[in-house]
C-alpha cells in the first residue's frame, strides 16, 4: 500500500538503505533517490546506503560516492529500507534488519509479491522500483537529483521505455521527471547504450558462440571463467548481452549464463509472451518478472541447459 515516505521516517535518527546484490540501474537509482530525498528533507537524520559496488556509469548520480560497499556491523537502525528486492537478495546487508525499528520494502518483483517489510509497497505490474519511489515522494519536495535518479531506474528497467512493462503512467511520470531539466539523452546514452570496447567484444563473442535449440525458439550462450579471465571482464560487463540474444528473430526464450564457481552458473532469462520467465527462474530458486528473470544453478553447463529446457518446454508446447 502506498504511504508517505517522509512521514514514515519522521523522527528516525539513523536510516539504512539497501538493494540487491549486483545492483542494476533500477536498484542504484532507487537507493540514491531515496537517500537524497531523505537527506534533503529529514533534518538531523543519518542516512546510509549499503550496496555492492555498482557499475561506475552511475557515478554521476548524487550520492554515488557515499555508498558503503562493505557491510560493517552497525548499531540497530531506526528504519531499514529495502529497495528493488526482498531481504534475502540484499546479501550481506540483510543483517541490518535485525533489531531495526521498522523495515520498509519497495519492490516490483512478482516473486516478492507480499513484501518482506513491516511496511510494503510492492506492485509487480509496475516496470521499475523507481516508478514506485516516484509515488512515495512528495512532488513539491522532489528536486533535480531525486528526479534524475528515479528516471535512470525507470530507463534501465523498461529498456528505455521499450519493454511491455511501460505504461501510460510510466511515461507521464517520465515526462514530469525530465521537466527538472537534467540531460536525459546523455544519461541514457552513457548509462544504458554505451559499452566499453571490452564489453562490446565480450558481447560479440557471446552472440557468436550462442546456440539455438528447441526448433530455434530458444537460444543460449555461456561465458566460462577462463574466458572472463582472458578478457579481464567482470560480471558487470555482461549487462545487455541477454537482451541482445532476445532480439534474435523467432526466439521465445533467451538464456545467458556465466560461471560463478565450480559447477555453478548465474542464469539470466529473457522471454516473449509465450514464456513466463519468473516461473522458470522460481522453479530453480530464483525469481524476477514475467519477461526477465534470473537464478543460480548447479551442475555442468549441459545439465543446466537440459534442466532449463525441461521447464521452458512445459510452457512452449
Closest to Mn ion by CB, 41 vs 115, is 115
CA-to-CA distance for 265 and 257, rounded, in angstroms?
Answer: 6
Q: Which of residues 184-223 bind Mn ion (CB under 5 A)?
A: none
Contacts of 167 (CB under 8 A, 6+ apart): 127
**Options 76-84, 217-225, 226-234, 237-245: segment touching Mn ion (CB under 5 A):** 76-84
Distance, CA of 4 to CA of 123 (rounded, Å): 16
Tell me: does residue 18 bind ligand AMP (CB under 6 A): no
Residues in 82-111 that interact with ligand AMP by CB under 6 A: 89, 109, 111
Give the nearest distance from C-beta 274 to ligand AMP in angstroms: 18
Taking the alpha carbons of 302, 252, 166, 61 in that order, is the dihedral positive or negative?
A: positive
Least distance CB 202 / ligand AMP (angstroms): 16
Pairwise CA distance, residues 83 & 81, whole Å: 6
Say if CB 195 and CB 240 are below 8 A apart.
yes
Query: Residue 11 or 285: which CB sits closer to ligand AMP?
Result: 285
52 is a contact residue toward Mn ion (CB under 5 A): no
Tell me which residues in 278-297 interact with ligand AMP (CB under 6 A): 286-289, 292-295
173 forms part of the interface with ligand AMP (CB under 6 A): no
Using rule CB under 5 A, residue 157 touches Mn ion: yes
Measured distance CA(257)–CA(251) in Å, rounded: 17
Q: Give the nearest distance from C-beta 76 to ligand AMP in angstroms.
A: 26
Name the binder of 293 from Mn ion, ligand AMP, none, CB < 5-8 A by kind: ligand AMP
Asked if 130 and 17 count as a contact pair (C-beta separation under 8 A), the reply is no
Cα 48 from Cα 66, distance rounded (Å): 8
Smallest distance, Mn ion to C-beta of residue 109, A: 7
Helix (H, G, I), strand (E, B) or coil at 63: coil
- Find the binding residues for Mn ion in span 95-154 (CB under 5 A): 129
CB of 68 or CB of 282, closer to ligand AMP: 282
DSSP E strands: which ranges in the chain? Answer: 14-18, 46-50, 79-83, 102-107, 119-122, 211-213, 218-223, 253-261, 264-271, 287-288, 292-298
Between 84 and 276, name the residue whose CB sits nearer to Mn ion. 84
Polymer length in residues for the chain? 317
> How does DSSP classify residue 191?
I
Site size toward ligand AMP (CB under 6 A) is 14
Q: Which is nearer to Mn ion, 27 or 242 (CB)?
A: 27
With respect to ligand AMP, which residue has the nearer C-beta, 156 or 173?
Answer: 156
Nearest residue to 106 (alpha-carbon basis) of 8, 30, 50, 29:
30
* Contact partner, 294, from ligand AMP, Mn ion, none, Cβ < 5-8 Å per class: ligand AMP
Query: Where on the chain is the footprint of Mn ion (CB under 5 A)?
Result: 24, 26-27, 84, 129, 157
> Which residues are near ligand AMP by CB under 6 A?
20, 89, 109, 111, 242, 268, 286-289, 292-295
Amino acid at each position: 500500500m502506498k504511504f508517505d515516505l517522509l512521514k514514515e521516517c519522521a523522527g528516525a535518527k539513523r536510516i539504512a538503505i539497501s538493494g540487491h546484490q549486483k545492483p542494476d540501474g533500477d536498484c542504484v537509482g532507487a537507493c540514491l533517490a531515496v537517500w537524497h530525498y531523505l537527506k534533503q528533507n529529514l533534518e538531523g537524520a543519518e542516512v546510509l546506503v549499503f550496496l555492492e559496488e555498482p557499475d561506475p556509469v552511475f557515478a554521476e548520480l548524487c550520492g554515488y560516492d557515499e555508498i558503503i560497499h562493505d557491510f560493517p556491523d552497525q548499531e540497530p537502525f531506526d528504519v531499514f529500507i529495502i529497495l528493488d528486492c526482498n531481504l534475502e537478495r540484499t546479501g550481506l546487508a540483510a543483517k541490518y534488519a535485525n533489531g531495526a525499528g521498522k523495515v520498509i520494502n519497495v519492490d516490483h518483483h512478482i516473486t516478492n509479491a507480499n513484501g518482506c517489510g513491516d511496511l510494503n509497497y510492492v506492485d509487480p505490474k509496475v516496470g521499475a522500483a523507481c516508478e514506485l519511489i516516484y509515488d512515495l515522494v512528495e512532488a513539491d519536495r522532489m528536486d533535480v537529483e531525486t528526479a534524475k535518479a528515479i528516471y535512470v531506474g525507470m530507463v534501465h528497467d523498461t529498456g528505455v521505455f521499450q519493454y511491455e512493462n511501460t505504461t501510460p503512467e510510466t511515461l507521464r511520470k517520465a515526462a514530469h521527471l525530465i521537466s527538472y531539466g537534467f540531460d536525459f539523452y546523455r544519461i541514457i546514452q552513457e548509462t544504458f547504450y554505451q559499452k566499453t570496447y571490452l564489453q562490446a567484444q565480450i558481447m560479440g563473442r557471446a552472440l557468436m558462440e550462442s546456440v539455438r535449440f528447441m526448433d530455434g525458439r530458444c537460444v543460449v550462450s555461456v561465458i566460462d571463467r577462463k574466458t572472463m579471465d582472458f578478457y579481464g571482464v567482470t560480471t558487470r560487463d555482461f549487462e545487455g548481452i541477454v537482451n541482445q540474444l532476445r532480439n534474435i528473430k523467432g526466439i521465445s526464450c533467451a538464456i545467458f549464463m556465466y560461471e560463478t564457481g565450480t559447477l555453478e552458473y548465474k542464469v539470466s532469462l529473457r522471454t516473449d509472451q509465450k514464456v513466463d520467465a519468473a516461473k522458470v527462474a522460481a522453479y530453480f530458486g530464483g525469481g524476477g518478472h514475467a519477461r526477465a528473470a534470473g537464478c543460480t544453478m548447479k551442475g555442468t553447463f549441459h545439465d543446466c541447459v537440459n534442466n532449463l529446457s525441461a521447464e521452458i518446454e512445459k510452457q512452449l508446447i
